[in-house]
Amino acid sequence: MKRTLLQTALAAAFCTLSAAHAAVAEKPSTLADQQSVAITIYNENLALIKDVRRIALDSGRNRLALREVSGAMRPETALLRSLSHAGSFNLLEHNFDFDLLTPAKLLEKYVGRQVRIVKTHPQTGAESIETATVLAANNGVVLKIGDRIETGLPGRIVYDSVPANLRDRPTLVTELASTRSGSQTVELSYLSGGLSWKADYVAELNAKDDGLDLNGWVTLTNRSGTSYPDARLQLVAGDVNRVRDELRMAAKVGRMRDVAEAPASQMTQESLFEYHLYTLQRPTTISDNQSKQVALLGAAGVPVTKELVLQGNDYYYRSSIGNLGQKMKVGVFVLFENREASRLGMPMPKGVVRVYKKDSAGNAQFVGEDRIDHTPKNERVRLKLGEAFDVTADKKQTDFKRRDTTSPWSYVHESAYEIVLRNAKKEAVAVVVREPVPGDWTMLGESQRHKKVAAGTAEWNIRVPAEGNTTLRYRVLVRY
């Protein structure tokens, strides 16, 4: 008997709550209510959105439909708070409706329900209406009309209404209890996918290959399902660990220090935790399904060094090889310092650097591109642009022999090499020969002096005369 009374009371309470829930009218809020929006975009398809709106609330329970939020919102990160009357409401529930209204979605929602089919007679133009039940809407439509089953769409479909959870725009429905009535300024903050950015750089070499003009651009891509008019834009460069509490970490964006203005751009940069934050100094509109480019940096007359490199391999120090290659390619690199003295000195986000040079007619021609990682201030940038056409190398192993060892588990090899560098240009060039030598090695003899630039790397700087050649010979002892 007691259990029956308890069950009856619970059922009555549930019905009362359901009736109260149904009685609360939905208050829509659109971009017309938006006071401002701020976006912080990270490298890996992640953005922090701060959407400030002016809304009217009733005292008591409210059901607020915040329309035109990001369709790629992570609803578990959503936070709504009052900026004008702190603590004036308590959040009860969030519902994120991202199932958008389309003919296919509408038909799918009506599976098991009745619709009306309007057919037009092809000769008379008269219309007839039949009631049909939608049986399926997967890869087509299956209808039951009277005592027959039909597939396909025999005419126009007329629906009675749009289902409540099917929206024309992404919508966050928030239920809250307010202690006061009237207008309030609220801020909705959340993390979202669908927004990304990347850096691209365009450089133009001068005639002597000893200087370049560099311009950096940020390309923003918005596939989040909504637009952000007159947004305050910030970009975070760095590798953020997304296992951490991203929302709390991203909220540190407002703390600023070490601000430096980007040359010839509208971006400023600052340190943020172990990352760098770039802020656009004007609002910008980011439309849905749009890519936008914003100037990041600009510098003219940056000193550069061109470097020709013949890169070796370590495998031919372990056995007898013989001929290693004819007309081997020599890599072409350009190097510059990211320093204020070089007219730069701004942290450079990772991206692709595309390099051009003007021909004799003054037309800019593409000469190569390379990808750089995040590059801090005062670091060197090294770009590989391609392979030299007029500078080649012939390489062979001239001697190889095994030395006696005191242990059966160790190896001692002595080998000799000859590298002929050829230059078809009308001016002399310098070629860096870089050899990765394995194990514990000793240079026994060489025609030009090497530098041990690392534990396993020998390097020679060889000058090759115009339309001539230079031969490098060396012998090395390797233990491992």
In a domain, 109, yes or no: yes
The per-residue pLDDT for 2 is 42
In a domain, 442, yes or no: yes
CA 425 to chain centre: 42
The per-residue pLDDT for 125 is 84
In a domain, 321, yes or no: yes
Surface-to-core class of residue 309, CB atoms within 10 Å of its CB (0-12 exposed, 13-18 middle, 19+ buried): middle
Residue 421 dihedral angles phi and psi, to the nearest 5°: -95, 130
d(CA 114, CA 133): 4
Q: Are residues 312 and 281 in the same domain?
A: no
Residue holding tokens 């480019």? 293
CATH code of 146's domain: 2.30.30
The per-residue pLDDT for 329 is 93
Q: Are residues 236 and 113 in the same domain?
A: no
In a domain, 386, yes or no: yes
The per-residue pLDDT for 23 is 62
Q: Are residues 241 and 387 in the same domain?
A: no
Q: Are residues 260 and 133 in the same domain?
A: no
The pTM for the full model equals 0.74
Residue 138 DSSP SS3:
coil
Confidence of residue 246 (pLDDT cuts 50, 70, 90): very low
The four Cα atoms 203, 206, 209, 211 give a dihedral, to 10 degrees, of -70
In a domain, 172, yes or no: no
In a domain, 64, yes or no: no
104 has pLDDT over 70: yes
Most confident of 5-9, 11-15, 84-88, 260-264: 84-88
Task: Tell me the average pLDDT across 181-187.
Answer: 97
Last residue of a domain, one of 253, 281, 303: 303
CATH code of 435's domain: 2.60.40
- First CA to last CA distance, the chain: 89
Q: What average pLDDT is seen over the chain?
A: 88
Surface-to-core class of residue 254, CB atoms within 10 Å of its CB (0-12 exposed, 13-18 middle, 19+ buried): exposed
Task: Tell me the average pLDDT across 14-25.
Answer: 53
Residue 9 dihedral angles phi and psi, to the nearest 5°: -65, -40
Q: Are residues 409 and 266 in the same domain?
A: no
Lowest mean pLDDT among 56-65, 115-124, 387-396: 115-124
Q: Are residues 413 and 399 in the same domain?
A: yes
The per-residue pLDDT for 31 is 94
Q: Report the domain count for the chain.
A: 3
Q: Are residues 201 and 278 in the same domain?
A: yes
Q: Are residues 468 and 413 in the same domain?
A: yes
Q: Are residues 309 and 422 in the same domain?
A: yes
How do residues 268-308 score in pLDDT, each as one tens digit? Answer: 888 888 888 999 999 999 999 999 999 999 999 999 999 99
Q: Are residues 274 and 312 in the same domain?
A: no
Residue 404 DSSP SS3:
coil
Task: Tell me the average pLDDT across 46-69.
Answer: 96
Beta bridge partners of 440: 479
In a domain, 472, yes or no: yes
Residue holding tokens 């070499």? 205
Q: Are residues 413 and 464 in the same domain?
A: yes
How many other CB atoms sit within 10 Å of the CB of residue 226? 23
Q: Are residues 235 and 318 in the same domain?
A: no
Domain limits for position 207: 195-303
In a domain, 186, yes or no: no
In 3D space, the residue among 379, 333, 377 whose CA is nearest the CA of residue 353 turns out to be: 333
